[in-house]
Structures are given as C-alpha cells and as structure tokens.
Amino acid sequence: MFAGVDLGYNAVKAASDGGRRAAFPSAVGTPDRARFSLNGGGAGAIVMVAPEHVLVGAEAVTQSRFLTRREDRRWIESDEYRALFLAALTELTPATVAEVALVTGLPVAFYDDRERLLERLMGEHRAQREGRRAQVLRVTQARVIPQPFGALLAAVLDDRGGIADQALARAAVGVIDCGGKTTNLLSVNRLSEIGKETASVNVGGWDLVRATRQWLSDKYPGLDDLRDHALAEAIQARALRYYGEPVGDFPAFVEERAADLAGQVIAQASHLWNGGATLDAVLVTGGGALLLGDAIRKHWKHARIVSDPVHANALGYWKLARRLFAQG
C-alpha cells in the first residue's frame, strides 16, 4: 500500500490507493463511550485496543473523560503520536497484514528531526481496533519531507506520481501552510526548496482558538469551557449557540481576529519572499486556509487556495510515495 500521512497538531489526514481518505482530530483520550444512543452515534469511532486502549479522533473529543493534545517538538516521540499514526493506517486498510510505502512530513522548523521520525515509523507495528482482528503493519519504505511540500506535489503530480502540471513544476512557488500551532512558509523553484526563503511563523489556528476562548469568557460564560477541537470546529463553521440561541456577534469576531492573524503571516512571508513579486504563484493550504485564505488572496493577486486544502498535504505525500516507491 502506498500511503501519505499528514499528522498535524490539529488533525490527522491520510490518503492511500483506491481513493481511500481519512481525517480526524489529533486527539487521544481515555476509552469512555456513550452507554446508550438512538442515532448510532459512535458507530464509526476509532477505538484502539493495542498498543494502548485509547479513543482517537472526534469521538475522543466528545466522550473521553481525559484528553491529550500536545504542541511540543518532542511530540513525535510520544505514545499519543504513535496512537494517531497507527489509527491513520488502520483507517486506510483493514488488512490483517499490510506492507506500507509511506511519505509524511514535518514542519519546516523541525525538519532536522526527520531521521528520528523515520526510526519511529519504519519497521513492523502491531495494532488492533475494537471489533477488528489484530493488524500487522509493516512500513518497508518511508520518506519525510517538509510539510507544506505536499500541497505543491498534490497540484503538480497525477495519481500515478507523474508530472501533470509542467508549468507549475518549473515555476517559482510560495506555499503558505496554515496549521494549528504554526504556519509554514515554503519557497520552491523548479521543485527544489529555497532554504533562505523558507521558515515557520509562530501563528496558527490554536492562536485563534485561544483568543476566542478569552472573548467567550468575557461575554458568554460557560462556552469558554469547550474543548479545543470543539471550539475549533465552531470557529471554522462561524457558528456557535448559547442557551439554544445563535451567538450573533461570533462570526464578526472570528473574521476580525482571522484578519489580524493573516496580517502577521503576510508580513513574514512578504519579508522572506521580497514582497512576492518574483514568485509565479502563491498556494495557500492547511486547515487554516479556510480561515486566513481570503485575506491572503486579497493581498496577492497570484495567490490561490489549493483544491481541498485540508487533505492537500496527505494527497501530495501519497502521490510522491507512488512516484518514489512504485518501481521498488
């Protein structure tokens, strides 16, 4: 199986052969479950029995009594990271034994950690989900690339890993990958990274979550107790209810704060890219693209939000896996 896994602080996205896609919050919690439901709630929950008994993803946000969410650099060494990674692979295949050729990414600021990550990913992993047989998942080939490169590759490569967009492949491109903790800025010329024009901005979706929580604490006591992922979903939907009624000034607050954050990203990118005039295109990707993308497009006339910005990195990783490993 060829696979691309984009494991971010906010969400896990994965893609593999046959159009398989997966996406769920980067949340790991205690395996608490609803004891009764009339609507089939929880039927699609990701419950890992092994290596550890944990609830993963959206159901963990809703049901887990204790929830873990990390944002530090050593996250890749944690049990939570391993649980999310294995949950992603079990979403991509139900096979009891599967060989995986994998591409994944790291934030540009942490790219020097790629060898440590490869050591964690390569080799044989044993996992089991509730209601399934145990699985043996062998990662036989793997590559770690700078995280935002995936979105560019999703646009450049076809589903077999061939070059589909020759013009974009030869172009000078800036990629703005809006994540949960950071926004990665990647400069690429003819599919080669320009290191001096690549950096991370310490601004991401969780900054908006924190600002919103403070605002809610002042104006709508009780809503500030929402868990991070639940609040992030409300921000993305621009909709929140208080005692059964819509919070009327919530969308305007989100737009205002998102514009402020976009301004910080634009300022740093403009500095790195000499105003952006020498770039042929600016691609905006990541879950935060849905929040910051419009402001960025207004600033640069050659900027565009990529198709399916949430899954773009994972799709690009999967296409690169096919390109790198199909002949192996």
Delineate the domains of the chain, giving CATH numbers in brackets: 2-164+311-325 (3.30.420.40), 166-305 (3.30.420.40)
As a dihedral over the C-alpha atoms of residue 24, residue 27, residue 28, residue 29, rounded to 10 degrees, the angle is -110
Cα–Cα distance for residue pair 311/13, rounded to 1 Å: 6
Contacts of 90 by beta carbon, 8 Å cutoff, 6+ apart: 46, 48, 127, 129, 132, 135, 137
Half-sphere exposure of 156 (CA within 13 A, CB side): 25
Write down the residue that tokens 């005692």 correspond to.
243
**Count of positions (residues) in the chain:** 328
State both tokens at 181.
């903790």
Mean pLDDT, residues 302-309 taken together: 92
Cα–Cα distance for residue pair 321/297, rounded to 1 Å: 30
Write down the residue that tokens 């491109």 correspond to.
173
212: left (phi over 0), alpha (psi -120 to 50) or beta: alpha
Query: pLDDT digits over 181-196, tens only?
Result: 789 999 999 999 999 9
* Spatial contact of 105 and 3, defined as CB atoms under 8 Å apart: no
Q: What percent of the chain has pLDDT over 70?
A: 96
Q: What is the pLDDT of residue 324?
A: 96
Q: Mean pLDDT: which of 43-57, 62-76, 181-195 is highest?
A: 181-195
* Spatial contact of 198 and 89, defined as CB atoms under 8 Å apart: no
SS3 string, 57-84, reads CHHHHHHCCCEECCCCHHHHHCHHHHHH
Mean pLDDT rounded to a whole number for the chain: 90
* Phi, then psi, of 297 in degrees rounded to 5: -65, -35
Confidence of residue 37 (pLDDT cuts 50, 70, 90): very low
Q: What is the pLDDT of residue 93?
A: 95
SS3 state of residue 241: strand
Question: 25: which strand partners?
Answer: 11
Query: pLDDT digits over 79-113, tens only?
Result: 999 999 999 999 999 999 999 999 999 999 899 99
* Spatial contact of 97 and 135, defined as CB atoms under 8 Å apart: yes
Query: What pTM does this model have?
Result: 0.88
Higher pLDDT, 12 or 292: 12
SS3 state of residue 51: coil
Helices then strands, each counted (H, E), the chain: 10, 18
Among candidate residues 306, 9, 316, the one with its CA nearest the CA of residue 143: 316
Query: pLDDT digits over 224-261, tens only?
Result: 888 877 888 888 888 999 999 999 999 999 989 888 88
State both tokens at 298.
């207004």
